[in-house]
Structures are given as structure tokens and as C-alpha cells.
Amino acid sequence: MNCRFCNNQLTHEFIDLVNSPPSNSFLTQQQLSEPEVFYPLKLYVCDDCFLVQTDEYKKHADIFDNDYAYFSSFSTSWLKHAEDYVEMIIPRQSLSKSSLVVEIASNDGYLLQYFKQRNIPCLGIEPTANTAKVAIEKGIETRVDFFNESTARNLAIDKKKADLIICNNVLAHDPNLNGFVESLKILLKDNGIITIEFPHIMQLILNSQFDTIYHEHFSYFSLFTAIKIFEKHDLKIVDVEELSTHGGSLRVYAAHKSSSIKENLNNILTVLEKERKIKLNELSGYLGFRNKVSNVKNELLKFLIEQKQKGKSVAAYGAAAKGNTMLNYCGIKNDLIGFVADASPHKQGKFLPASHIPIVSEEEIKLRKPDFIFILPWNIKEEICNQLNYIRDWNGQFVVAIPELKVS
């Protein structure tokens, strides 16, 4: 495998999570008796540009099909994050009724709905027809298509270049990384801005967040590497913010190199210095991650087996992709976790891939009163703990495994 950014041959393994089915490939009852397809889940780090990446083991178009299970609007904290962003970016970029906002991978309209409420023209580009349908029903113009150079050029021809392009947790989702960034450049107005959010690999390494690794994430970024990628395509990163979302993310602001927008060097240099301290601009900063991951796995298995021996019951909450990575790497099945509750009706009645743990509604927690709730999407732990606080009535406790096992 060669680096998808710089084409350097990859020889250094970052982590091998062995084999796993795609994290959002939930199963029906009938499919439980059919074979499952497992794909390698091995990451490499480039010793030239330090991009961490996995091969396209399952094709991009097959992952983001017309029956995609993830709907962004089922997380109240993510909706709040989206609305806060809109309230911030409109005055910052002086957006008005004459502006155009384009979101790449707009899902079910979770974010663009707030621009629409404020009468800012917006367009979503979303490849999964079932999520796009929900956005369209909200009155949000949405093109059901993958974003690529052809899409960008067609929009530019239609005079739909963007004042603002939003890319939330999508940069990692396209194996054609250079093509994706080039497409952003084509679609962006001369003095427009791109905002891109992605989980920060610094936090992944520091906090053992291996469960954020799954097949639809082809690349994992530091700011150091992101600057290199955008510079290659005549784009400059002009600002960066550190966010708490997804266990620690970056929001970078990019513009044409030729634009008049000035860089906020203080913010950029602050993050680069944090990365330098843990050697993310050197190969040594990426080695040894496997040992941290093994510790998380061992502690979680020890806890679950102990509860099984004591006759205690453990359920999970949140049928999230990261939860499937965690369960499958640890080899956890439905003998250790009885069920997983999830708010999305699109997942209820199905089963987690490989572990075959049934997905149910929250009502099942109230009926069965488990002793422990294992929170799989630990990044929204606070939201879930508040929502399920009633488990305290029967002395129930919450469990998270990242960055280390914690029972509360």
C-alpha cells in the first residue's frame, strides 16, 4: 500500500485491529443465520507525511449505500453543536440572503436546517438516499450524490460556488483524499472559507481511542499533516479550533492561497506545538499504540467476566460504529452484554454485526433494570447519563472503557 496523500510506500504499522465487519452493517433476524463478511482493519502511518490510514478494504460506494444507518439528528448534543456553529459562523463570515452555504455529507439536514431557519441559502450534498430524503422533507435542497471533482465542476458551471463549505467528519471518509480536497478548491468562491471538523489523532493516541477506527474512516489527521495536504492543493489553513466533540476534534478553516484572508498564526502554532510535544511530526510518536489498546481490552474483558460470575447483568447504550469496533476487537458477544438500547428506530429490531447483540428501544432498560449500562458512544457520555439517570433508582451504574475503565 502507498500513502493516499504523498504516494510514499507504507511500511510502518500503527495498529492492527484484525478483522471486523463494517461497523454500520447492522443485521436483521434472518441475516443472523447467514455468513458475515469480515474485512481487515489495519492502519499504517506514513513516515514522510505522517498520515495514518487504512486501505480501502471495503469499497467507499458500498459503505455509503442507500440504506445507511446513521442519522445525525438522534443526538441532542450534536444538534446543539450544529446550532452553535451556525450562530457563530454567520456573523464571522458575514453570511446573508445573497450567500450560499454548501455542506458535504449533509446527512439528514441536522445542520443546514439552522441556516434555513435564518434564511441563508444552503445546499446539501449527501450520497445516502435514505438520510437525504429526511433532509429534503425538511425543505433543504439536497443532491443525492458523492462529492467529487465532477460534482464540484457541475455546481461551479451552475453558478453555485460556495461562500462557505462545511465538512463535518467527512474528510476521513473519502479514500481519494487528494481528489476530495481538490474538489473543495473548485467549489469555493475566491474569498470563501471552508470549515472542516475531524477527530484529532493527538487525542486518539493520548486517550486510547482505538474504537474511532472503522472501515468508513480511511484517514486520521494531525494539524501538521492537514496543512501539508491543503498546501498541495493551493489552499491555506487560516485558523484552527480545538473542540470537545468525538473525544477531541479540530475545526480547521481553509481558504484559497490567493485570498485576502489572514492566518491566525497564534491558534495554528499553539496546536502544532502540542503535536510536536508528543512527536506527531516524527515516526516515534505513532509507535507503541498497540500496548495502550491491549490494556483497554484486557480491563474491559476482566470487568465483564467478573460481573458474569457474580450474576450481574450488563446492557449497553448506543449502537454506535465506535461501539462495534470496541466489541469486535475485544471479542465480546451477547453472552456478556444482553442488549444495546438506541434511540434510532432505524436500528431498533436489528443486531450488532459480529457480536449479534440485539438492538432495542430505551424502554427495555426500564423493563429489565440491568445492573450496569455500558456506554458505547463515550463521547456523549454526559448526554446519556442525564437521559438514563433513572437507573440510579435500582442502584444501576454507568461504565465507560475509554480512555480507561470507569464505573460511576
Query: Topology of domain 290-407, per CATH?
Result: Rossmann fold (3.40.50)
- Domain ranges within the chain, ordered by starting residue: 146-286, 290-407
CA distance 107 to 133: 9
Tens of pLDDT, residues 15-60: 999 888 988 889 999 999 999 999 999 999 999 999 999 987 655 5
pLDDT on residue 246? 87
Is the predicted pLDDT of residue 101 greater than 90, yes or no? yes
Which whole-number Å values give the CA distances from 187 to 70, 170, 174, 184, 262, in the listed order? Answer: 26, 16, 17, 5, 20
Is the predicted pLDDT of residue 216 greater than 90, yes or no? no
Fold agreement between 146-286 and 290-407: yes
Strand order in the sheet with 12-20: 12-20, 39-45, 52-54, 219-220
Tens of pLDDT, residues 245-296: 988 999 999 999 999 999 999 999 999 999 999 999 999 999 889 899 999 9
Q: Residue 183 has which C-alpha cell?
A: 474538489
Q: Residue 200 has which C-alpha cell?
A: 484529532
Architecture of domain 146-286: 3-Layer(aba) Sandwich (3.40)
Is the predicted pLDDT of residue 93 greater than 90, yes or no? yes
Is the predicted pLDDT of residue 68 greater than 70, yes or no? no
Which of the residue ranges 20-29, 218-227, 368-377 would you say has the lowest mean pLDDT?
20-29
CB-based burial of residue 384 (10 Å sphere; 0-12 exposed, 13-18 middle, 19+ buried)?
A: buried
Strand partners, 239: 253
Tens of pLDDT, residues 105-127: 998 999 999 999 999 999 999 98
pLDDT on residue 320? 87
Which whole-number Å values give the CA distances from 148 to 121, 125, 179, 304, 393, in the listed order? Answer: 21, 10, 7, 45, 52
Are 182 and 149 in contact, with CB atoms under 8 Å apart?
A: yes
pLDDT on residue 62? 54
pLDDT on residue 59? 57
Residue-level length of the chain: 408
- Predicted TM-score (pTM) of the model is 0.89
